[in-house]
Amino acid sequence: MFKLPSLRDALPFWASLMLIPVLAAAVAFGSWAVFLVPLSTWWLFAGLDQIIGRSRENIDPNAPESGLFWYRLITRVWVPIQIVLLVVMLWYVPQATHLAAWEKLAVFFGVGVITGTVGITYAHELMHQRSRLDRWLADVLLATVFYSHFRSEHLLVHHRYVGTPRDPVTARYGENFFRFFGRVLPGCFLSAVGAEAGMLIRKGKPAWHRSNPFWLYGALQVATLLVAALLGGWWGVALVLVQGIVAIWQLELVNYVEHYGLERRHLGDGNYEQVHTRNSWNATQRATNWLLINLQRHSDHYFKPMRPFPLLQSGDPNETPELPYGYPVMTTAAMVPPLWHRMMRPQVKAWRKRFYPDIADWDTQVRPMPR
């Protein structure tokens, strides 16, 4: 017998709700206050990580679903919260006379930090669940940031090909974030389109069949634009696009950090070894794991992709490579390529030496996987 998690245990994972009053203060006061949201998510949680420290505590992975109610509720409750948040902001901010144009843009930069840091992270959790409701809620969240194809790419491409040349999201050793960002935006979209079309063709259906989720993706994203236009006119359209761009940037910063330089062994004939926990960077900083609902326990996520976030295991540090700092610090470092490479070059070399001491030349060991 083991103790079922309670509301008290789950409460720290509701930390995302604290960002709502922070955003309200940014809108109300304007001026320097418009920077409160990014300061809170980046620097406040980086500071809390240093104060509170790390956590390797695990819930029993065999805990019944009934004991996870209060954990999983936040991911579902967040969907209407984000919709209401966007509606109120798109109605109020364009007509707010006390905010200058740059302050309105800065406010929606903060909105994008929230919809990217929290919204997309929760969408990622929901899309991995078996429930159709959860997957539909994930589609709604992704449509509000105009990145709906992320679901198709992540589930059909990324998890299958992570750590290989077939995966556009795996950041290559020596590749800086800006080059990665320019490559991943078209790469993810095209790989998602190809994956969905391929599935339909294998079923004997045309790529444009009505069951292709890209029809739903497009409809939800057009609806988001129309709502923005109705609420805020051209300002509303511009502001909702700004938050979408910021949210996507936040997502791809995390993607860049999560697998940077980690490659799977090429077995020959276009085949690669099975995905292991060693193919993802882990981080055990407690506060950021509260905000990102254990996203930093990334190695276990690839071992058990459908495992709910409360049950993700911290992993054996001897088997799971760990980042020197949590995501807030690492994503900030990624924006400064010389700093990033100085931090991560020895980390990747140590990873290669520990897990693949027999591979002398990594440039020739990883070869393109035939389509």
Per-residue pLDDT of the chain (371 residues; tens, 9 = 90+): 345 567 788 999 999 999 999 999 999 999 999 999 999 888 899 999 999 999 888 888 888 877 899 999 999 999 999 999 999 999 999 999 999 999 999 999 999 999 999 999 999 999 999 899 999 999 999 999 999 999 999 999 999 999 999 999 999 999 999 999 999 999 999 999 999 999 999 999 998 999 999 999 999 999 999 999 999 999 999 999 999 999 999 999 999 999 999 999 888 888 899 988 889 999 999 999 999 999 999 999 988 898 999 999 988 888 889 999 999 999 999 999 999 999 999 999 999 999 999 887 777 665 544 34
Angle subtended at Cα 245 by Cα 240 and Cα 248, rounded to the nearest 5 degrees: 125
Amino acid at 241: L
The angle at the Cα of 179, spanning 363 to 47, to the nearest 5 degrees, equals: 105
Q: Give the SS3 label for residue 141.
A: helix
Q: From CA 248, how far away is CA 36, in angstroms rounded?
A: 20
Q: Is 271 in a helix, a strand, or coil?
A: strand
Structure tokens at 247: 């949210």
Residue 342, class by beta-carbon neighbours within 10 Å (0-12 exposed, 13-18 middle, 19+ buried)? exposed
CA 299 to each of CA 184, 188, 276, 313, 316: distance values in angstroms, whole numbers, following the listed order: 21, 21, 8, 9, 10
List, in sequence order, the alpha helices (H) in 203-293.
Answer: 213-259, 286-291
* pLDDT tens, position by position, 58-92: 888 888 877 899 999 999 999 999 999 999 999 99
Q: How far apart are CA 327 and CA 45, in angstroms?
A: 9
